[in-house]
A and B are shown apart, each in its own frame.
Chain A
Amino acid sequence: MANRRANFCGSEDHLIHRRGFLGAAAAAGAFAANMGVLNVLRSQPLASELKRQQKHVILLWLAGGSSQLETWDPKPGHENGGPFRAIETNVPGVHISELMPKMAQRMHTTCLIRSLNTRNADHGGGAELMERGRRDEPTVKYPDLGAIVARELGRPDSEVPDYVSMYTTAEGRRKGSAGFLGARYAPMFLDKDLMPANIRRLEQISDLDHQQRGELRQVLGERFARGRGSHSVDSHNSAYKRVRGLMASEKLFDVSLEPQQYRDAYGPTQFGEQVLVARRLIEAGVPFVKVARGWWDSHGQNFETHLELVTELDHVMSTLIDDLEARGLLEHTLIITLGEFGRTPRINPSLGRDHFASAWSCSLTGCGIKGGSVWGKTSPDGMSVVDGEVGAGELFATIFQALGIDHKKDYYLGSRPIPLTNPGTEPIRDVLA
């Protein structure tokens, strides 16, 4: 019995035969195509040449605000500097915190921006700004970086998700927003575990039934859409069209399918596992993956917190760089390490650091970046930017340029042109390859 069932639903010939009810015209190519994704993954440790040419972003989001002094902009010898030493890197003259010995050996892949002055030291407002590159206007809700990259680098009919966002710790959790680009570009959001919700077919429905009812739905959907002139209706149909492909990407989220050596390399922490998933996703063609590492808000015990979190970041980020490089993916993948703001240079009596947006750092690695470059400078006490001040807009323009996206490109909201970055915003050309 069990055997017959399997045959009944499993045979491809049988499937095609059963599709007869739709007529030849409706038997679209979607079905055959969605198997392709998995095959690429399963058969080759290296991504295909085709996939390599596509560009990707992995955003390591340091939620709550990491300290620039304990990462990219140490101030050894100053009372604000804290207890950690600065160490040399493999780029002469560039020093980073001793908490990042592994990144120090990979500095040639990465550029540092040490002169962010973003003025908003409130978690919500700061995160909104650093996710979108600018503040919303009353009537314009801007899309976040993931949504823009999904739109620019994703394929409209993509069978893999084009924007995946992981934020599993609960504090300060933000889903991200596609703003005026609409829900088509909203992230596939993983807030509970490593597997997206509703991505697995229920056991009580066979694969064939799942497939066929989707085809029935599509016939109704296309008939209805005719003459309605509605993007909303079209988006409904295209969301359903993507379901089967997205389900096939379930395996991308399953770290147990990864060879043990890679799991060991990324390490046993949840962040390590999530970044490994991120690598699996971009290798399969996902343009944008955000992994939020929460929560860095070290008002008390800043040094202990950073000892834990920077050590983990150093390890995981270095592993990711090595892994992407070995797969030939690094030059097409931009790794952004960023949070909503940095932390106060002044050390408070709980040996903590508080919110600080006037002079802080982020890093960009890989695609389109001049590795080893450093942009901007802060004062010896770390309290202000003394050279090369940039805001969220300049950072975003730099990110777009690194990905080969024109930062002046217009979107249209009705007839109103809206450039990707506000007029007059220029990228930091010195850090671009």
Chain B
Amino acid sequence: MTADPNKLTKKLEIGAPGILFCLDKRDDSSVIHCGSSDGKVYTFDLADEKPTGKPLESHTSYVTGVALAGKYLVSGSFDCSLVWWDLESGKPVRTVKDAHARWIRGVKAAPDGSFVASVGDDMVCRLWDAESGKLLRALQGHELQTPHHFPSMLYACAISSDSKLVATADRVGHIVIWEADSGRSLATLEAPVMYTWDPSLRRHSIGGIRSVAFSRDNKLVAVGGVGKIGNIDHLDGPSRIEVFDWQAGERTHEFSHDKLKGLVETLAFGPDDAWLVAAGGDHGGFIQIYDLKEKKAIKEEKAPMHVHDMVLSADGTTLFTVGHGRLATWELKEASA
């Protein structure tokens, strides 16, 4: 069955404890792992008749990143620590207490299972050996402070499908493409519209790049966030996506949605890079799908919650989303009889 983004349909919706910030799932398993604001990692088995979250307890603050790497699940949190969980026993096998000096904002695993990347507000991306937990490299290319002298934030990272590249993106819209092996910075890109500084009415900022993804052929990098906001008390700005040919340093696509407001929290390319799916929200949530060739929207759907993270299956037919107090699954194919 090939994926058809036009046929996006919600299949399942489950209430969940707290705010779910992140998830990971393997195509060959019915189990979803996600991280919550209550400091726990939850495991849901969708094969259960009534899936309920089984908690793994370890963090003391919001769990903002989970990544499946080999036989481990690695979780990261605002408590600055990373925890390696043995998937079979459900027990923590390793805790790196001060993996970052400030909040950890995201954890991703290399598709080949060799390493794990974490980003945090110390503005460093750290690469860890998936098996041993050894720190391989610290990638430093983001300013600690915004141009307005406030602490900056490093929200997002992504790893290419060949596990050779890492992309990181921060609050002021600065993006770096790294070579994982050498730690060399290969390219930098800018998406400044994602950051709104209000110099007169409120004198602070809002926004930032919240999501980044490589195309499956690794030629493109998409970043998501929110466009310029007038009243920065609210997420009252157009959701925004920019796509770059990172080697050429050119922006190839720009999608700004005035009706679906708020942050694009997560992005994924469909099979053959024909389309791109984005999810996020403000008080409510959304899913948007764009045809990259035609550069136009294929589908927009309201999500039952502000979506913080998602996983798209390799064949593009199933989508798993988590967010504010909820988990939902979606199909992108002709409804099966």
Contacts and interface: CB of A to CB of B under 8 A. Distances in A.
A–B touch (CB < 8 A): the answer is yes
Nearest to B306: A349
Given A83-B37, A294-B203, A351-B19, 6 more contacts: A84-B78, A169-B201, A270-B203, A300-B206, A349-B324, A350-B306
Closest 8 CB pairs of A and B: A295-B202, A300-B235, A308-B150, A349-B324, A83-B78, A171-B201, A349-B306, A83-B62
A308 B232 CA distance: 13
Contacts of B79: 85
Contact of B234 (A64, A299, A309): A299
A90 to B, nearest CB: 22
Interface string A165-207: 0001111000000000000000000000000000000000000
Contact of B204 (A83, A170, A308, A348): A308
Contacts of A312: 150
A307 interface: yes
A268 to B, nearest CB: 5
B18 interface: yes
A64 B203 CA distance: 12
10 contacts: A64-B202, A268-B149, A294-B202, A294-B203, A295-B204, A297-B202, A297-B233, A300-B232, A301-B235, A348-B283
B61 A83 contact: yes
Contacts of A351: 19, 306
Contacts of B232: 300
Contacts of B202: 64, 169, 171, 294-295, 297
B2 interface: no
A353 B327 CA distance: 22
A304 interface: yes
A79 B62 CA distance: 10
A349 B324 CA distance: 6
Given A295-B203, A308-B151, A347 B233 contact: no
A57 to B, nearest CB: 23
Contact of A350 (B204, B205, B208, B283): B283
A85 B102 CA distance: 12
Contacts of A349: 281-285, 305-306, 324
Given A83-B37, A348-B283, A309 B262 contact: no
Contacts of A85: 60-61, 79
Interface string A265-294: 001111100000000000000000000001
B212 interface: no
A99 to B, nearest CB: 10
A100 B127 CA distance: 30
Given A85-B60, A295-B201, A352-B234, A301 B284 contact: no
Interface in B299-322: 305-306
A170 B200 contact: yes
Contacts of A168: 203
Nearest to B77: A83
Contacts of B148: 269
Interface in B57-93: 60-62, 78-79
Contacts of B153: 304, 307
Interface in A337-362: 347-352
Contacts of B38: 79
Contacts of A384: none
A295 B205 CA distance: 11
A171 to B, nearest CB: 4
Q: Report which residue of A85, A269, A295, A350 has the largest number of chain B beta carbons within 10 angstroms of its beta carbon.
A: A350
Contacts of B18: 79
A305 interface: yes
A83 B103 contact: yes
Contacts of A304: 153, 206, 208
Interface of B: 18-19, 37-38, 60-62, 78-79, 103, 121, 148-151, 153, 200-206, 208, 232-236, 262, 281-285, 305-306, 324
Contacts of B103: 83
Contacts of B281: 349
A79 to B, nearest CB: 6
A334 B208 CA distance: 38
Nearest to A295: B202
Interface string A393-432: 0000000000000000000000000000000000000000
Contact of A300 (B201, B236, B324): B236
Nearest to B305: A349
A291 B37 CA distance: 35
Contact of A305 (B19, B204, B208, B324): B204
Contacts of A347: 19, 37
B229 to A, nearest CB: 9
B235 to A, nearest CB: 4
Interface in A74-103: 76-77, 79, 83-85
A352 B232 CA distance: 11
A299 B281 CA distance: 14
A320 B157 CA distance: 39
Contacts of B121: 307
Nearest to A307: B151
Nearest to A347: B19
A180 B157 CA distance: 59
Nearest to A293: B203
Nearest to B308: A351
B206 A305 contact: yes
Contacts of B203: 168-169, 270-271, 294-295
A70 to B, nearest CB: 13
Nearest to B103: A83
Interface string A126-142: 00000000000000000
A169 B284 contact: no
A218 interface: no
A308 B196 CA distance: 13
Contacts of B62: 83
A311 interface: yes
A309 B306 contact: no
A311 B153 CA distance: 13
Contacts of B282: 300, 349-350
